[in-house]
Structure 1
Amino acid sequence: MPKIHIKSVQCTVPDEIDKDEMFLKYDGKKIWPVGDWYFRIDTGDKVVVNIDLEVQDGWNELELWDFDYLTFNDHLGTFKFFVDNNKGEYSTSMELCEEGSTASYIMQWELT
C-alpha cells in the first residue's frame, strides 16, 4: 500500500463566522487532531497536521468535518486525491458537501 504524508491544511474561508472546529476523517475514522476533538481554525490559518496514512492506489478521499456541541457534526467537504507511483508534493482543494456552505480549504500532502 502506498503511504502519504499529510503536511498541513489551510483555511481559505471558514464555514462559521467564529472559526471552524475542524477534524479530519479517513475511511470513516477520525484521524486528526490526535488527543483532541477538534482544532479551531479561521480565515488564512494554516495548521500543521503531520500524519502518515496508508492509502489505496488510485482515488482516495479525506473528509473535513466541523465539530458541533449541540447538533450533529457537519461534513464540510472532501479532499479527493489520486495516488500512483509519482512521488512528490501536492495540494488538493476541498470539494464542498454542504449546499450553501462557503467553506474553502486546501490540503498539502506528499506521496512518499
Structure 2
Amino acid sequence: MADNVKYQLRILNLSCYRQDESDGDEVFLKIKKEKIWPVDAKYVKMKEGDHKVAHNIEGINKDETVSIELWEYDFWTPNDKLGTFSMLVNERGGSFRTDLKAEKGEAAKYSLEWEVY
C-alpha cells in the first residue's frame, strides 16, 4: 500500500565553516530556481558560525530527495552557485545535518541543519 502521507521539512540553521570570500559571503537559498531564504532581504552576510533559518518546505512525498542550492550574491557580476544540499526525506525526526556538495572550484564549506514533521 502506497504511503500518501506528506512530510514537512523545516530548515533550522545554516552553518559556515569556511566562507568563499575573505570578508564573508552574501548567501541565499534556492529550490527549483526560486529563492526561498532570506525572505526579507537579498542575502545574509555570513562568516564562520551559525545562522538561524527557520524555513518550512511542505508537501514532500516519502522517499523524496529535496535539493537546496546555496548561492552567493554578487553586486557587479552574476551570482555564484556555491553548491547543493541534498536531503532524503523518508522519516519524521531530526535534527539532521547535511554538508554542502560544493560546485567545482568553490572552496566554501557549509552545512544545513533540518528536521522532518
Which TM-score applies when normalising by structure 2? 0.89
Structure 1 position 50 matched with structure 2 position 91: no
Residue 2 of structure 1: how far off its partner (Å): 1.4
| Partner Cα distance (2:61, 2:37) in 1 | 19
Which residue number corresponds to residue 17 of structure 1? 22
Residue 28 of structure 1: how far off its partner (Å): 1.4
Aligned letter for 1:93?
A: D
After TM superposition, list the pairs within 5 Å mapping 1:16-95 onto structure 2.
16-43=21-48, 45-54=49-58, 55-57=60-62, 58-95=64-101
- CA 1:68 to 1:12, structure 2 compared with 1: closer, same or farther past 3 Å? same
Aligned letter for 2:55?
A: I
Aligned letter for 2:38?
A: P
Aligned letter for 2:25?
A: D
Q: Deviations over 1:42-89 (max 9, x none)?
A: 12x200000111234321100000000100000001001100134322
Identity of aligned residues (%): 34
Aligned letter for 1:35?
A: D
CA RMSD, 1 decimal: 1.1
Q: What residue ranges of structure 1 are gaps of 5+ in the alignment? A: none
| Partner Cα distance (2:19, 2:113) in 1 | 17
Larger Rg: 2
Which TM-score applies when normalising by structure 1? 0.92
Aligned letter for 1:109?
A: W
Number of aligned residues: 110
Which residue number corresponds to residue 3 of structure 2? none
| Partner Cα distance (1:101, 1:76) in 2 | 6
